[in-house]
Structure 1
Amino acid sequence: MASPYSKLFENRTKPFSQLFVLDLAIQLTEILEYLHAQKPAIIYRDLKPGNLMLTKDGRLKLIDFGIARRYDVHKVKDTLQIGTVGFAAPEQFEKRQSDTRTDLFSLGSLMYFFLSGGKFVYITQKPLRTFRKGLSRDVAKIIHQLVQA
């Protein structure tokens, strides 16, 4: 049975606060740092609201490792083009190999989604500050850099 804390992220149309999203991003980068430091690196490939769960004490949990894979430096492409539209990096739908940068792109897409009130960076093609006038320039710059293909 799904935890009520996983529902916080799904079907959200109001933006989260900048502070809350930054806290989530920090926790996600710690999780990704651990996964990417494995030998070989584990590429998660499916960062999206439905795969995040927040515990009662505010700790973020990453769930559903169904399409995660180990990075293979000798491959030039993944065996399957897979990921969630709106959050997946371009290489996941092109005939290229995903790597640690894939998860960083998805992190930026997720932050954009949470801060914009549910808009997808690929669809809107607009700077995040279009939707969030009071957003820190530094945060907007970080997200912009993360979603560069």
Structure 2
Amino acid sequence: MASNTQILARALGRLGRKYQHHIYAVGTALILVLQAMPAHAFGLFDPAQIALTCMFGGTSSGTANAAISALPAVINATITVILFIYFVASGVKVVNALGDGQEITQIVQQPIGIFFVTLVLFIAQNILFANVTAACT
């Protein structure tokens, strides 16, 4: 007999599986649209993006190649989208495993590891590039 938690997890797992691609599409679209608006731009690695923009001469020299100037923003958005999709897929996988009554210890190890590595990288780049501004100073 399934517990109430398993029944809820099974229902959420079915919904997650059914709408997983819709969640990917909406999340990716939101990330990309907000990334294109400088006032609302966000990403896990914005300080690193600003530093790379300065390194590639995006704001300090007007003669920079447009493709090279856009590369830091593309890298930042790509990393953010990939991590978003990974964590949604991992969440759906964990919920489905819970709904099936499986042991999830092995299933959650990798997403938790990726989360902590991302957290360490996020903190490190915020420390390294804390004083870098869009004016490349």
TM-score (norm 1): 0.34
Structure whose alpha-carbon radius of gyration is higher: 2
TM-score (norm 2): 0.37
More helix by share: 2
More strand by share: 1
